[in-house]
């Protein structure tokens, strides 16, 4: 599946908005999370930060996506900004754009995510190559990243 474009209402940790189109040729790890999701805070988000530290220079772009689908009033951008500061997150993080039609934000719906955390890996060719919900094993995720980084950039 070709990876759908992101719909982001606000960005943190980046001087300008990011699109997947801009990242074509790199491998992308999309880390969908909510700041009050215990499994995200304990596992998913630190794992995304580690992937950023280990593989950014090898060609991986880690993008956080704050996909709020519950407790909307509790997880506003003001709260997210303090969360990012306190947890020392350094990869770019976008707020998934709210939907007019319901609690599920737009990017979360496009990717048919089932909840948080969700880890999505997009190859250099812009196609979705891994779509995992819940706690991911570090070694297994590393292997997929290594495989995708080993692929030649397509022209």
Tell the smallest beta-carbon distance from residue 77 to its own copies (Å): 10
Q: How far is CA 25 from CA 1, 29, 145, in A?
A: 16, 13, 14
Judged by CB, which is closer to its own copies: 50, or 131? Answer: 50
DSSP 88: T
**Residue 119: strand pairing partners:** 31, 132
Tell the smallest beta-carbon distance from residue 79 to its own copies (Å): 4
Tell the smallest beta-carbon distance from residue 1 to its own copies (Å): 21
Tell the smallest beta-carbon distance from residue 139 to its own copies (Å): 4
Judged by CB, which is closer to its own copies: 7, or 61? Answer: 61
Judged by CB, which is closer to its own copies: 41, or 128? Answer: 41
**How far is Cα 56 from Cα 46, in angstroms, rounded to an integer?**
15
Helix (H) or strand (E) holding 54, with range, is helix 45-55
**How far is Cα 69 from Cα 122, in angstroms, rounded to an integer?**
23
Which residues contact its own copies (rule: CB under 8 A)? 36-38, 41-42, 47, 50-51, 54-55, 71, 73-75, 78-79, 81-83, 85-87, 137-147, 149-151
């Amino acid at each position: 599946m070709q990876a759908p474009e992101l719909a982001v209402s606000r960005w943190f940790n980046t001087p300008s908005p990011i699109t997947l189109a801009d990242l074509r040729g790199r491998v992308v790890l999309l880390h969908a999370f909510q700041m009050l999701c215990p499994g995200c805070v304990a596992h998913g988000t630190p794992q995304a930060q580690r992937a950023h530290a280990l593989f950014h220079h090898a060609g991986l772009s880690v993008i956080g996506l704050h996909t709020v689908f519950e407790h909307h009033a509790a997880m506003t951008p003001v709260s997210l900004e303090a969360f990012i500061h306190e947890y020392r997150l350094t990869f770019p993080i976008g707020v998934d754009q709210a939907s007019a039609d319901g609690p599920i934000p737009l990017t979360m719906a496009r990717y048919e995510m089932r909840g948080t955390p969700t880890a999505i890996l997009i190859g250099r060719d812009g196609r979705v190559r891994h779509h995992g919900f819940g706690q991911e094993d570090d070694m297994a995720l590393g292997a997929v990243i290594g495989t995708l980084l080993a692929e030649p950039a397509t022209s």
